[in-house]
A and B are shown apart, each in its own frame.
Chain A
Amino acid sequence: MNESNSPEQRLHALDAVRGFALLLGVAFHAALSFMPGWPPGIWAMNDNSPSQFLSDAAFVTHIFRMSLFFFIAGYFGRLLYQRLGARAFWANRGKRILVPLVAGWIVLFPAIAFIWTVGITKVFGGTTPPMPEMPKVPGAFPLTHLWFLYQLLLTYVAVLAIRGIVARLDPMQKLRGLVDKAVAASIRTMTAAFTLGLPVAAALMSLPMWFYWQGIPTPDQSLIPQVPASVGFGTAFAFGWLVHRSKDALAAIVQRGFAHLVIAIVATGWMLHTMHASPMAQPGLTKTVYAMVFGVAVWGWVLGLTGAALRFLSNYSATRRYIADASYWIYLAHLPVVAAFQVWVGHWPLHWGVKYPFILVASFAVLFLGYHYLVRPTFVGQLLNGRKYPRKNPPPTAPTSPSNVTDLGNAGAVARLSGVTKHYGKSTALAGIDIEVRAGELLALLGPNGAGKTTAIGLWLGLIEADAGDVMLFGGSPQDVARRRRLGVMMQDVELVKELRVRELIALAASYYPDPMAIEEALAKTGTTSIANRPYGKLSGGQKRQVQFAVAICGRPRLLFLDEPTVGLDIQARETLWANIRALLADGCSVVLTTHYLEEAEALATRVAVLAKGRVIASGSVDDMRSLVSRRQISCESTLAPETVRAWYGVVDASRDRNRLLITATDAESVVRRLLATDPDLRRLDVREAGLAEAFTALTREAA
């Protein structure tokens, strides 16, 4: 029993249902060239081997597939709305629905028109009949099979408008509480299929010309909403939305899934029988009963199939996830592909039992290959599914729990790279590294050029994506703008807008944050008040860095990325910047600092991570780093030659700086004893622990 499934598990099942509904559409359209009795020109091809079986099978799938899709869309619609809020919801829907609708139509319509022309010419024996014209009615437009995206957008608008009205009328949620209970109760008592079927039936009964086979007429010829589709699919969407509201509804769907399937099968059997007797609805009792049975069948299938999926498909499966991800693209792109195969095989002297499977297999092969190579790893995949997968990526991991989406992390790690790998072509920038930034600390990322520091920061800033592993920023993805509102960034090699004044640059950056500093405060803190009204392009290199620092901190960040912040600064400006960093740390801000000035890291860092060749070769406090290198620096005035000393046991290196001999030693005590014994004139002896610089040099040399 899956009633105790987590919300995440339920999403896997519903994702699978959505994918199923979309892929069923491909099978449905693939069957349409085999319809017996269809006049030439209705579809791209009339196959020479028609099939009553395929006609019936297509009818059965057509009863429920789009209603099922809209039901799941309603469920996910509310989930998304709850998760993102209104603004981000519309931005998301714009990207995922509106852009595919517009761009898809621009690309697909010419392809579909071309295939149709070729197919119909073939059907008519080489002569092209005049193409049917669009009906001369307002709003007429050939939406093609992309009508469902248009309908979905209209439905979002309608449902959110209703939601807004209900929220005003029912501020205490009393009414909505009752509706939530009624939704679950109607499913559990098996009345949902009958009550939800009523509006569908009413809309169908109102149609003056209704072929039973067509079910809810497809609104693919007009931009004006059509009543049967708006009622039928709108009901499905709204009920999906309400099911997401109701905490008990999914459990009830699971519980009554089998019973709903039985109702659906019985109703569908009766409809098939009736339709064979008379395919066209005649006004009267039969039409009324048929419409009502159709409504019941729609909801029997929708609730039955959803229940079955929740019962059997709730666990995560990489294959199912892949297919579910692919289904959106496949449905968008399938029509010209399927029609092309239908046209190709239409006159082959073979039985439909051979040709139909061939069309399906060939179409899916083309579409899945297209998905795998042209969509999944590219911006199209990003657009359609919200993320893209690098080609060399391991199979996708189970998605994180929805609860993580709103969790901005606790007082532990504010940012983390876990097992992150990143390649640029054949070179490996990061090789499975783990680094975390803790709240209130300054983490200095050190390493030679090409060690992977900039890549690590780029991942945290959402500028690049990891090939493998997880990148976490405040508990979630760095791609999320809301999370980045806690960031401040000072990048290396960035020139701000040279025509704008310093004050304007700060004001511009501050406008991105919910609670920024006043401009004067940011200017004062960073010592840039005196240059506030000067254009950025007229500043010196050091002044520009100061302004960039002001831009980075003006949003009161909780995590500040500083990439080589003190390059080009004079001593006074550097002291000011260090003081600012310390003040930010004292205020609980975390800082990630990359620098080649090791004394800077030594002065500021809480922790140090040394990177080399894409790996973390050492990590810990500055003292930890020093202790990793058991070397000490010996300095003295001596006449001894460095070459002589370099040959002694325990000496790593020796050099001369004017009259002073500088020795790096692993066994400082024995070297000092030998120095004193060998040079009686030795003066001003100084022995000190190795600094971070020596530790860094030693560590990176060992890693090389």
Chain B
Amino acid sequence: MNTLNADTLPTSRLLGAYWTETRYEFMRMLRNLAFGGPILLVPLGAYLLVAVAISADAITKDPSLAYILFSGFSTMAVTMPALFSVGCILALEREAGLMKLKRAQPAPTGTWLVAKTLVAVAFGVLAYLPLLVCGVVFGGVDMDAGALAAMSAVLIAGAIPFAAIGLFIGSLVSGSAAPGYANLFYLPCIYLSGLFIPLPEFMHAQTVIWPAFHLNQLALGAGGVDKYHFLPPQLYAAVLIGITVIFGGLAIWRLARKG
């Protein structure tokens, strides 16, 4: 009698499947420069313009401003690729029927999910590293290595909730509409969470609804910048985990049903 054991993947092949999926997901993103280029370069360019060129005098007067600008633009750097790469690419794949094919193929559980998330994080790292170098060299970011490493780790991990939101958008809308919807969420999220622009006091309460606010606060907390740290870090982390679970869960549920 035939048994399922004959059709189980040995561990080496199982890991190989995850690796292959991730590798090709990364390669396709690298080859899609029209898509990847802007989301990698825009945060760096904006940081250099705002934090280095425009705010140099202000940073001299208040050195802690360097941290908040660095953290804000770093948040932008890691979250943009996560949201846009995952959301838009997934929507295009759905439109092309690729997700339906993937459901029919015997891919190990969640290979595409792992691949997309890891690539989103990897692209976040690619976008963040030049910003980190510029921040340390030109932007007045003068932290000790431990704090900078903790802040970097939080920022990089912070790509994951945005990848989950990207998944949700990608699972919901068409390929042509996905960039529009992603922007519709992302632009208010970035600006209204007060990452770069001081918000008037009456707008402070609304910042808590934006995940970028929580990530930025958590990053500042990890970096030891207490001046801008409003709530307990566990709460920020819980919100980001909750967003990941809810949006990721909704996306997976929808993709499992509709492809």
A contact set with B: CB distance below 8 Å: 85, 87, 91, 99, 102-103, 106, 379, 405-410, 461-463, 474-475, 480-487, 489, 491, 493-497, 499-500, 504, 507-509, 511-514, 535, 555, 561
Contact = CB atoms under 8 A, between A and B. Distances in A.
A500 B28 contact: yes
Contacts of A497: 24, 28, 93, 98
A504 B3 CA distance: 30
Nearest 9 pairs of A and B residues by beta carbon: A495-B96, A408-B2, A494-B97, A484-B106, A511-B20, A461-B104, A499-B28, A485-B7, A485-B106
Name the residue among B10, B27, B101, B106 with the largest chain A CB count within 10 angstroms: B106
Contacts of B3: 406-408
A486 B7 contact: yes
A405 B24 CA distance: 34
Residue in B5, B107, B111 whose Cβ sees the most chain A Cβ within 10 Å: B107
Interface string B78-111: 0000000000000001001110110111111101
B103 A462 contact: yes
Interface in B200-259: 241-242, 245-246, 249, 253, 256-257, 259
Nearest to A481: B106
B96 A494 contact: yes
B21 to A, nearest CB: 7
Contacts of A512: 9, 17, 105-108, 111
Nearest to A490: B101
Given A406-B3, A484-B105, 17 more contacts: A99-B245, A99-B249, A106-B246, A408-B1, A408-B4, A408-B6, A408-B7, A409-B2, A482-B7, A485-B106, A487-B106, A489-B101, A489-B104, A508-B21, A511-B17, A514-B6, A561-B104
A508 B16 CA distance: 10
A103 B249 contact: yes
A499 B32 contact: yes
A462 B13 contact: no
A294 B1 CA distance: 49
B31 A499 contact: yes
B24 A508 contact: yes
Contacts of B256: 379
A592 to B, nearest CB: 12
A499 B31 CA distance: 6
B24 A500 contact: yes
B4 A491 contact: no
A18 to B, nearest CB: 25
A409 B93 CA distance: 34
Given A99-B249, A482-B7, A507 B98 contact: no
A405 B7 CA distance: 13
A114 to B, nearest CB: 17
A88 B256 CA distance: 18
Contacts of A491: 97, 100-101, 104
Contacts of A535: 31
A485 B2 CA distance: 13
A481 B109 contact: yes
B14 interface: yes
B108 A514 contact: no
A103 B245 CA distance: 7
Contacts of A85: 5, 8
A463 B100 contact: yes
B14 A87 contact: yes
Contact of B259 (A99, A106, A463, A495): A463
Nearest to B20: A511
6 contacts: A106-B245, A379-B253, A474-B2, A482-B4, A494-B98, A497-B98
A490 B216 CA distance: 46
A491 B100 CA distance: 9
Contacts of A561: 104
A102 B245 contact: yes
B1 to A, nearest CB: 6
A91 B104 CA distance: 19
Contacts of B257: 379
B207 to A, nearest CB: 20
A225 B42 CA distance: 48
A91 B4 CA distance: 16
A109 to B, nearest CB: 10
Contacts of A462: 103-104
Nearest to A497: B28
A527 to B, nearest CB: 21
B21 A484 contact: no
Contacts of B4: 405-406, 408, 480, 482-483
B186 to A, nearest CB: 24
Nearest to B109: A91
A495 B98 contact: yes
A408 B6 CA distance: 10
B103 to A, nearest CB: 6
A379 B252 CA distance: 10
Contacts of A508: 20-21, 24
Nearest to A410: B1
A496 B24 CA distance: 12
Interface string B54-98: 000000000000000000000000000000000000000100111
A499 B9 contact: no
A504 B245 contact: no
A503 to B, nearest CB: 11
Contacts of A461: 103-104
A499 B21 CA distance: 14
A486 B4 CA distance: 10
A463 B104 contact: yes
A561 B100 CA distance: 14
A484 B106 CA distance: 5
A406 B109 CA distance: 19
Nearest to B25: A497
A484 B107 CA distance: 9
Given A87-B14, A508-B24, A487 B108 contact: no
A55 B207 CA distance: 48
Contacts of A474: 2
Contacts of A484: 104-106
Contacts of A99: 245, 249
A486 B5 CA distance: 12
Given A409-B2, A491-B100, A482 B107 contact: no
B253 to A, nearest CB: 4
Contacts of B16: 511
Interface string B107-131: 1110100000000000000000000
A487 B17 CA distance: 17
A344 B6 CA distance: 58
Given A482-B8, A514-B8, A496 B105 contact: no
Nearest to B96: A495
Nearest to B14: A87
A500 B29 CA distance: 10
Interface in B15-65: 16-17, 20-21, 24, 27-28, 31-32
Contact of B106 (A91, A406, A410, A513): A513
Nearest to B101: A494
A499 B10 CA distance: 29
A193 B107 CA distance: 47
B97 A493 contact: yes
A656 to B, nearest CB: 43
A85 B242 CA distance: 30
A424 to B, nearest CB: 12
